[in-house]
Amino acid sequence: MSASTAAGGVRDIGALLALFERPAAQRIYTESVTQAEHALQCAALAEASDAGDALIAAALLHDVGHLLTVEETEMATPPGTDRHHEAVGAAYLGRWFDNEVTRPVALHVAAKRYLCGTDARYGATLSPASVHSLQLQGGPMSRQQCDAFRSARGWVSAVELRRWDDEAKCPGAATPDFERYRPLLVGLLSRRR
């Protein structure tokens, strides 16, 4: 990567991380944490699990679609509408990152539906907000849908991400800040360019 491309990448990552400073990121995401807290907790859980850099980035950025859609569409769509944040976020992140980052982001909602379709105990662990969104997102997958999901590239990473996503809702949990992840994100840019 040339010096000018590297400098552009650093600016791009700065703009991406600035999304987490927007008012939407400071709102309560679930019953207990903000979008920003949720993102940092999810990334910390991925790191603690010795995930690779791409999956840590996916964990950090998996809900960026919420930040992109909530302010633009909040007034335009009725409450209780699925805004397909996973697709919006994956498409947005595709500007900078390759499929190792974007596929788990794109599939993390489907992974929740998959886990609900394959493990009755999993559904009982979901927060009330996740139970509500599950219904908006199509409910548990059927057997045929589960089979199709398992044939998708990146499905295993998406399931890992989903489990961290479900755990990353602890008020007051200690996490690194966003700056901790900046070098990791900049490093991943070279894979895409």
At 163, which CATH number? 1.10.3210.10
Residue 78's pLDDT is what? 43
> Which among 173, 174, 156, 172 has a CA at the least distance from the CA of 58?
156
In order along the chain (193 residues), what is the average pLDDT of each group of 10 residues? 48 89 81 90 98 98 87 47 79 94 96 94 87 87 97 96 94 94 91 61
Residue 11's pLDDT is what? 75
Instruction: Please give the residue range of the domain that contains residue 101.
Output: 3-192
Residue 30's pLDDT is what? 65
Residue 2's pLDDT is what? 43
Residue 81's pLDDT is what? 55
Residue 47's pLDDT is what? 97
Q: What is the pTM of this model?
A: 0.87
Residue 85's pLDDT is what? 80
| Number of structural domains the chain divides into | 1
Residue 84's pLDDT is what? 76
